[in-house]
Structure 1
Amino acid sequence: MSEIKIKKVESKKDLMEFIKLPWKIYKNDPYWVPPLIYDKKKILDKKKNPFFEHADMDMFLAEKNGELVGRIAAIKNDLHNQYHNDKVGFFGFFECINDQQVANKLFDTAKEWLKSKGLNAMRGPANPSSNDEYGMLIEGFDDEPRLLMPYNPRYYLDLCENYGFKKAKDLYAYKIEYNKIITSEKLKRVAELARERSKIKITQLDMKNFKNELEKVKYVYNKAWAPNWGFVPMTEKEIDALAKDLKPLVEPSLVLFGEIDNKLVGFSLVMLDYNQIFKSMNGKLFPFGFIKLFTQRKKITWARILTLGIIPEYQKRGLDAVFYWEIVERASKLGIHLGEASWILEDNDMMNRGAQVMNAELYKKYRIYEIPI
């Protein structure tokens, strides 16, 4: 009988095995985009990632007959539990061969770890939180993931559901096509009317004034998304770290601020889909991958709307339509005619309606699973 062993990640060697396991899982998958090893090391580094100032995590590897066959992380996010006043733990970074016994062992290990921390439910995948890669792909397997979106084999759904996980919430991703949007008379009308009534002024990111611009992001971010299910506020240090990572990749004309009467009311962050470049880098940023980021940038055909938020007192005034129209117009000037708006909670009626007004196509779905402990 084959033996499955679980070992905790404790050494640098273990960590590299943890990071590199996906290359084995996705060996023959044409849609998988290899993550940058440099980035994954940074995310998992408890000394460097400010997430761990309010969270704890242990990582585990599964071996079967001496061969690495799976991995998982168990995560206790104190900020989440303080904010929501609950005792939910998370699993993340889950990868596994198509073997239910291996998956069960990994889930059991994470569950026991969370239980030992006094938590009463396990939710995920969160890599490591809702402010990072979040959810499991359940629809849309015949396409590569956009930047900072997860991807997984279809059989992961069976591994989760056979274990006893139930759906907690679904997340949506919409495909936006320039040619379809500019034919949306409703979007154009709503945007023009909202712009006229509110006198909203849209400005783009000023890279020379990056530090002050970042303060504006912090102001809007934690105000606009606060009411959402599963939301966890980002700390100042977390936003600073994310900004530092994204700064070299940012296209200033796609990072927009909205002001009414000199008061900041909204913010949107759109990134070019660098996954189209990362795919050929095979996880290696150095020595030549870094050059590719800039020399091949003009080959990128997609963008992703990572965030679009209006502070609560200015919502339901059509201001999101103004942002969408601006984004699409600006992206088209860069030669980008395809976009993804993601992720959007399945029950976020305002954002889902906005996507429909844009003639966007709901083309991918992701699931957050949960099980009581």
Structure 2
Amino acid sequence: MKQIVAVSSKKEIKSFIDFPHDLYKNDPCYVPELFIAQEDLLTPGKHPFHEHSRVQLFLAYNNGKVEGRIAAILNNNYNKFNNTNEGFFGFYDCVNDEETSNMLFKHASDWLKAQGVLAVIGPTNFSTNETCGLLVEGYDTPPFAMMTYNKPYYQSLIENNGFSKKVDLIAYKFGDSGYNDKSVKVKEVLLRRLQSKGVTIRPVDKKNYEREVERIREVYNAAWDKNLGFVPMTKEEFDYLAKDLKLILDTDFCMVAEKDGKAIAFALAVPDINQVLIKVKRGRLFPFGIFKLLLGLKKIDGLRIIALGVMEGYRKLGIEACFYGNIIEAYRKKNFKHAEASWILEDNELMNRAIQNINGFPYKRYRIFERAL
């Protein structure tokens, strides 16, 4: 007998986190999320998202066996910032069964309706500031760090529930030497030009990390504020993310541009930690996963370019090209073999063109869907 259960206990949260490990058991591209990180993210009182918004998790059972999961998300900060009344679904995983999928969506939708929501968007976990988007093209390779992966049949299950495309997110791939290094060649000229305008570029200072994080958050919330689906991150949310990133942060790939002592742009790329996590069974660091993590860090040869943002008024001055030049130089020096720039909204012409100009090629596509309630 099939039934949907609203998650309320620690045991049910554990089942919610562990279900994908069983569903993707024999999938060579699946990367398990770290259990401890997912538990914190989903538990009120542990992650700052819950301080301003609400989440309800649901599990689908069939004769006592978990066959699906979904989260109904009411992001109050998103609705306030965008002057809208929308909800989200996230953490969606399901066996290839339309009845089970529809039951999950019905319960999530009913919960959102009860909150007065008029439409549902997703998948987002919890917003576009976290992992988001359904993979619809590019199933042949594992995801890079902090990117999603799912079964190809998910698209049909979601569309058959009445959802339609809202927007696509593009991931670009770079090979070992298949990139255009023009930005490296012109970097020094651009740097001198920027310096004549009072703009300097430097690595993030990890010794003053808290102050750096606050300055970068101001740029992040200003540079992306017009992007579809954007919601500013609170200080607590940004600090939480920065604390996690610090563990893998390489200052050669994290830079700040300043003018008159004020941060006006930043760039962030991180080693592809998924190359290690893919070997950590069921996302457990203990007892043996921690050794795989520590030993594997030095063997990572992939890089994900996560963010490159410039505040309005300082764009098209050459800051972006200097950031790319620095990243390419460090990429070469450290003998990385491949990189991904992700994700970019499909209608962000400026950024898509900039990446294509350095020979990035689109190789994965993610989709965010919407449906009226």
Determine if the alignment matches structure 1 residue 197 to structure 2 residue 196: no
After superposition, what is the alpha-carbon deviation per residue over 1:43-68, rounded to whole angstroms, capped at 9, x for unaligned? Answer: 10111100111110110000123321
The 8 Å contact of residues 57 and 74 in structure 1, kept in 2 or not, is answered as yes
After superposition, what is the alpha-carbon deviation per residue over 1:263-287, rounded to whole angstroms, capped at 9, x for unaligned? Answer: 3221011110011011111111123
In the aligned structure 2, how far is the partner of 1:97 from the partner of 1:354? Answer: 39
Compute the displacement of 1:190 (Å). Answer: 6.0
Cα distance change of structure 1 residues 88 and 193 upon mapping to structure 2, 3 Å threshold: farther
Q: What SS does structure 1 have at the residue aligned with 2:265? A: strand
Corresponding residue number in structure 1 for 2:40: 42
In the aligned structure 2, how far is the partner of 1:188 from the partner of 1:65? Answer: 60
After superposition, what is the alpha-carbon deviation per residue over 1:137-180, rounded to whole angstroms, capped at 9, x for unaligned? Answer: 00000010011100000000000111110000100100123512
Compute the displacement of 1:201 (Å). Answer: 2.4
The 8 Å contact of residues 184 and 357 in structure 1, kept in 2 or not, is answered as no
Structure 1 letter corresponding to 2:222: K
Corresponding residue number in structure 1 for 2:227: 228
Corresponding residue number in structure 1 for 2:19: 21
Cα distance change of structure 1 residues 188 and 250 upon mapping to structure 2, 3 Å threshold: closer
Structure 2 letter corresponding to 1:362: P
Determine if the alignment matches structure 1 residue 5 to structure 2 residue 8: no
Compute the displacement of 1:192 (Å). Answer: 5.0
Compute the displacement of 1:316 (Å). Answer: 2.3
Cα distance change of structure 1 residues 115 and 296 upon mapping to structure 2, 3 Å threshold: same
Structure 1 letter corresponding to 2:34: L
Corresponding residue number in structure 2 for 1:153: 151
Corresponding residue number in structure 2 for 1:212: 211
In the aligned structure 1, how far is the partner of 2:280 from the partner of 2:336? Answer: 22
Compute the displacement of 1:193 (Å). Answer: 5.0
Structure 1 residue runs of 4 or more that deviate by more than 6 Å after TM superposition: none
Deviates more, 1:42-51 or 1:213-222: 213-222
The 8 Å contact of residues 279 and 292 in structure 2, kept in 1 or not, is answered as no
C-alpha RMSD over aligned residues: 1.5
After superposition, what is the alpha-carbon deviation per residue over 1:212-259, rounded to whole angstroms, capped at 9, x for unaligned? Answer: 211221121111111111111000000111111121221122111112
The 8 Å contact of residues 266 and 311 in structure 1, kept in 2 or not, is answered as yes
Corresponding residue number in structure 2 for 1:264: 263
Corresponding residue number in structure 1 for 2:304: 304
Structure 2 letter corresponding to 1:227: K
Q: What SS does structure 1 have at the residue aligned with 2:117? A: coil
In the aligned structure 2, how far is the partner of 1:118 from the partner of 1:18? Answer: 26
The 8 Å contact of residues 270 and 304 in structure 1, kept in 2 or not, is answered as yes
In the aligned structure 2, how far is the partner of 1:116 from the partner of 1:178? Answer: 51
Determine if the alignment matches structure 1 residue 135 to structure 2 residue 122: no
Structure 1 letter corresponding to 2:193: R
Determine if the alignment matches structure 1 residue 274 to structure 2 residue 273: yes
Q: What SS does structure 2 have at the residue aligned with 1:130? A: coil
Determine if the alignment matches structure 1 residue 328 to structure 2 residue 324: no
Determine if the alignment matches structure 1 residue 245 to structure 2 residue 244: yes
* TM-score, L = length of structure 1: 0.95
Is there any run of 5+ residues in structure 1 with no aligned partner, and where?
none
In the aligned structure 1, how far is the partner of 2:307 from the partner of 2:317? Answer: 18
Is there any run of 5+ residues in structure 2 with no aligned partner, and where?
none
In the aligned structure 2, how far is the partner of 1:342 from the partner of 1:134? Answer: 11
In the aligned structure 2, how far is the partner of 1:47 from the partner of 1:203? Answer: 36
Compute the displacement of 1:184 (Å). Answer: 4.5
Q: What SS does structure 1 have at the residue aligned with 2:15? A: helix
The 8 Å contact of residues 270 and 306 in structure 2, kept in 1 or not, is answered as yes
In the aligned structure 1, how far is the partner of 2:210 from the partner of 2:290? Answer: 24
Deviates more, 1:122-131 or 1:262-271: 262-271
In the aligned structure 1, how far is the partner of 2:291 from the partner of 2:233? Answer: 31
Matches within 5 A, 1:82-161: 82-161=80-159
* Alignment size in residue pairs: 369
Corresponding residue number in structure 2 for 1:345: 345
Deviates more, 1:75-84 or 1:6-15: 6-15
In the aligned structure 1, how far is the partner of 2:323 from the partner of 2:344? Answer: 16
Structure 2 letter corresponding to 1:197: R
Structure 2 letter corresponding to 1:105: M
In the aligned structure 2, how far is the partner of 1:237 from the partner of 1:190? Answer: 39
Identity fraction in percent:
44
Corresponding residue number in structure 2 for 1:58: 56
After superposition, what is the alpha-carbon deviation per residue over 1:73-127, rounded to whole angstroms, capped at 9, x for unaligned? Answer: 1000000000000111000000000001110010111111111100000100111
In the aligned structure 2, how far is the partner of 1:347 from the partner of 1:36? Answer: 33
The 8 Å contact of residues 181 and 325 in structure 2, kept in 1 or not, is answered as no
Q: What SS does structure 1 have at the residue aligned with 2:160? A: helix
Deviates more, 1:89-98 or 1:220-229: 220-229
